[in-house]
Homo-oligomer: A and B are copies of this chain.
């Protein structure tokens, strides 16, 4: 993807919609994304998304047929990736230099990602010596928008006896992140699946000295690399 001297004219809202679409389409679990799904994700009404999508279509960032599913153009995707890059670089800065905890960084990064200055974000990246992952283990796209997405294996997809390493967590919920820390899990933790209970899909896991039972919902937000 070529690096343009892209003076970004988009509003904060337009940026947020494109980022949300990207997260659902590319980083999310669903292959197709509809209007109402986007609305729910952004916590706005379907009428609002319908309206914004219309605008983003005339600006050629989104494509869709009437009553059809949504897709991003290359341009739209590029804008989204740059936003994610900014978000994750800021999260890294807050975490590594300003004493923020990993459950505090996301909300402030949601604001900082909209600051318009190419130089700012590139210099911030240089200052931090080109970090590759944010505090939640997510990859940081480079200045050209190159995005080395590591396949997201959910902890919930493993089976009894499997051993894995925690490589990333979903960072959207403060409560979830606090919960993860509290039970003692962290990036790189080695986790063994002791039991997957058929009744409610809850999972007994072991890590270090600890043994915990986690829900399916919890396990859906934990991404791992299988070791055994």
Q: Chain A residues in contact with chain B, CB under 8 A?
A: 94, 97-100, 104, 107-108, 111-112, 115-117, 119-120, 123-124, 127
**This chain: how many copies in the complex?**
2
5 smallest beta-carbon distances between A and B, as pairs:
A98-B123, A108-B117, A111-B115, A99-B123, A108-B120
- List 13 contacting pairs A-B, 8 Å CB cutoff, sorted by A: A94-B120, A97-B127, A98-B119, A98-B120, A98-B127, A104-B119, A107-B117, A108-B115, A108-B119, A108-B120, A111-B115, A111-B116, A112-B115
Chain B residues with CB below 8 A from A100, complex form: 119, 123
Chain B residues with CB below 8 A from A112, complex form: 115
Return the chain B residue nearest A97 by Cβ. B127
Chain B residues with CB below 8 A from A111, complex form: 115-117
Q: With the chains together, A111 CA to B115 CA distance in Å?
A: 6
Specify the main secondary structure of chain A where it touches its partner.
helix
Q: With the chains together, A107 CA to B111 CA distance in Å?
A: 17
Chain B residues with CB below 8 A from A107, complex form: 117
Return the chain B residue nearest A98 by Cβ. B123
Q: With the chains together, A115 CA to B104 CA distance in Å?
A: 14
Q: With the chains together, A4 CA to B100 CA distance in Å?
A: 21
Q: With the chains together, A119 CA to B123 CA distance in Å?
A: 22
Separation in Å of the A102 CB from the closest CB of chain B?
A: 14
* Given A97-B127, A111-B117, 13 additional A-B pairs, CB 8 A: A94-B120, A98-B119, A98-B127, A100-B123, A104-B119, A107-B117, A108-B115, A108-B117, A108-B119, A108-B120, A111-B115, A111-B116, A115-B115
Separation in Å of the A126 CB from the closest CB of chain B?
A: 8
Q: With the chains together, A98 CA to B117 CA distance in Å?
A: 12
Q: With the chains together, A100 CA to B127 CA distance in Å?
A: 12
Chain B residues with CB below 8 A from A94, complex form: 120
